[in-house]
Amino acid sequence: MALGYVTTCDYIPVPEDAVEELLRLARLKRGDVIYDLGCGTGELLIVAAGEYGARGVGIEVSRRLAEWAVKEVEKRGLEDKINIIRDNFFFPKYWAHLEGGEEKPYAIRKADAVYMYLTLQVQEALRGMLEKELKEGARVISYAFRLQDWKPVKEALINETPAYIYVKGKSF
């Protein structure tokens, strides 16, 4: 299910087999809502929707990558299951607790799972926000970086890269 190789100075695609393993480890299931923060070309969301029956929201700051992801979603006929948004996931509109608790159309609190393949510095900046925002039982999937102060419920080595699954209420 290769989507091709895209290069930007800060984009590293996740290997195809890693996507499958990450979603399996997170026990993604039909009807789950998964957010991909920094979704790149949207591959993880495409697999989540196409093979697991999940619904997805991808937030990507790069115009080129977001456009690529939208085209890939359209090519596979998954527009009814995946929303790709070109935006910065730090903006308050995704975090109800930052704007008076108002419910937003794409509030991250709606997520059953959140996937992050971001630098440790960015993940650590998101950690407190996720702690406040996510509902009990929501899973956080982190590829390559372990979050400090959170205890993973699952750990795996995928293509020699660590992966961690956290659950709100158990891990943090």
> Which is nearest to 123 in space by CA: 100, 145, 102, 149?
145
Amino acid (1-letter code) at residue 32? D
pLDDT of res. 7:
38
Buried b (16+ CB within 10 A) or exposed e, 124-158: eebbebbeebbeeebbbbbbbbebeebebeeebeb
pLDDT of res. 5:
37
Amino acid (1-letter code) at residue 5? Y
Enter the pTM of the model.
0.91
pLDDT of res. 101:
67
Which residues is 139 bridged to in the sheet? 113, 167
pLDDT of res. 15:
82
pLDDT of res. 46:
98
**Please, what are the domains in the chain?**
16-167 (3.40.50.150)
Q: Which mean pLDDT values do the consecutive 10-residue runs of the chain (172 residues) have?
A: 42 86 97 97 97 98 97 98 97 85 85 96 96 97 95 96 98 97
CA distance 89 to 98: 13
Q: If phi over 0 gives left and psi between -120 and 50 gives alpha, with beta otherwise, what is residue 81?
A: alpha
